[in-house]
Chains A and B, each alone.
Chain A
């Protein structure tokens, strides 16, 4: 059991109290003195396969971390692990001061998650507001019906991503970029402390990619959320993140972007697929061929 989960639950309930203004909540929530996510020699995998090996990494609250690495380097496993959907086979992972296998549902509700963009059935009958309201369900718990205050929180989240005027539209009728904004709003409606984004720009056109990344950066500044963003697009995030984590089954490098994005480090991970242009743009051949 987590040592102080009751205190944490009380704090969580206070965060859910809609009478407290959101900005107030953020200032009243005491900063944790220790990391919000902490991997300690953690290895993840399935019998016979290692997806991530011997990862040691500490992420303090309010940090914006970009996670990069080639296909199959364990980026999505890292995401699933932080979500508590996968326990380490050896070592430990503590998220929100809880061991991940002990991550109770009320803790998961504090992690806003944007999964990799799947194929959304364009006919799935859900309005934008209904989709965002789902973000409230985990925190509400079983048997409790969403109240007007939950609806207000969902609408506020939609306003934060600039989509409130689309609240009654069919989700399937929106463009890819707009759908990503709605899913980010769904994650925000959880009133999370951690935002976990798995390739939020994949499958979007260039304008939409920029606008989604700008939105994420803006949310980081305004809400002081801890953000873990998995991406293939190194150039898009290099100037925006506090720290980059480079994975290829093992943790190859972690630090400020200028320290990680060095040709000698990148070429170890990407090999011949890596091209660095004279304008310092990093092109990963493998990624662009396959997508």
Chain B
């Protein structure tokens, strides 16, 4: 009883800090956006494409620091270019997708290391984008994250039925009169924007875990598209917010705290998956 009231006091104390309010808000937004877009990424099989985009966005950040430009602006340019090239290669089928993404992934990482090398001084802020530092999110960054989140979530809300359809079967969607190709490129664009939104919070290396893991966890739990999206969002927000609180309480880096919490939930869901248990029973 005493411990519970002590915990409550500590929480209220934490929430009184401006930086903590900003961090929790940023984490909740990132958790929500990543987990919603993650549903379409998982169902459409775009996981590896997104990982490549995250590294490309980091190359954009390093170039921006080198040129003295706003970091997120070039992150968007690099992210979009990579994701569009990936989509084009998949569409044309000229090269195996894993090969083309592998090349883009490593080439953009090489660019990032090159730009880091060209900076004559050590810049800890740049490394913040690599590993994530949600506790140092500024008001301006929070506004950018908020604005981009509204764009991404609003677009998904408006076009969710088309996005579900192309994730299920793109050719069938095109044959039914859905502008499937345009929707596919829009999905890729939203993936790139989501990566940029999450870059500061969880970092380039871990951002894709935030997109993949909540959606993959929800995938284990339900047979319905709508329920999968709902579960994914709840898991995403829960992991992001709890991860931030854990990182502050135990003095841990925030990105890994969020991602490892999400990973634990994923394995728990795999073990308790009603789909898997049903299959085992059937066999």
Contacts and interface: CB of A to CB of B under 8 A. Distances in A.
A106 to B, nearest CB: 6
A134 interface: yes
Given A113-B175, A113-B176, A142 B222 contact: no
B43 A124 contact: yes
Contact of A123 (B158, B175, B179, B219): B219
Interface residues of B, number: 27
Interface stretch (A51-59, A125-133, A158-166, A270-278): A125-133
A109 B224 contact: no
Contacts of A146: 161
A279 interface: no
B164 A139 contact: no
Contact of A127 (B43, B179, B224): B224
B168 A105 contact: no
Contacts of B222: 125
A50 interface: no
A137 B166 CA distance: 11
B168 A131 contact: yes
Given A109-B176, A113-B175, A115-B171, A140 B161 contact: yes
Nearest to A173: B223
Contact of B228 (A125, A139, A143): A125
Given A125-B219, A143-B158, A105 B224 contact: no
B119 interface: no
B235 to A, nearest CB: 14
A87 B229 CA distance: 38
Interface in B28-58: 43
Contacts of A125: 43, 219, 222-225, 227-228
A113 B172 contact: yes
A169 B222 CA distance: 11
Contacts of A139: 177
Interface in B209-224: 219, 222-224
A72 B259 CA distance: 49
A206 interface: no
Nearest to A138: B177
B43 A138 contact: no
Contacts of B90: none
Contacts of B164: 130, 134
A134 B178 CA distance: 10
A93 interface: no
A108 B174 CA distance: 8
A142 B223 contact: no
A184 interface: no
A290 interface: no
B281 interface: no
A169 B161 CA distance: 20
B226 interface: yes
Contacts of A171: 223
A85 interface: yes
Nearest to A113: B175
A145 interface: yes
A21 B132 CA distance: 58
A83 interface: yes
Contact of B177 (A109, A115, A123): A109
A126 B168 CA distance: 9
B159 interface: yes
A166 B55 CA distance: 45
A107 interface: yes
Given A123-B219, A137-B162, A142-B159, A130 B175 contact: no
19 contacts: A85-B175, A105-B179, A115-B172, A125-B222, A125-B225, A127-B225, A130-B226, A134-B161, A134-B176, A135-B176, A137-B165, A137-B173, A138-B173, A138-B177, A142-B158, A143-B159, A145-B161, A146-B161, A190-B176
Interface of B: 43, 158-159, 161-162, 164-165, 168-169, 171-179, 219, 222-228, 275
**What 7 pairs across the A-B complex have the smallest Cβ distances?**
A138-B177, A170-B223, A108-B177, A138-B176, A109-B177, A105-B177, A113-B175
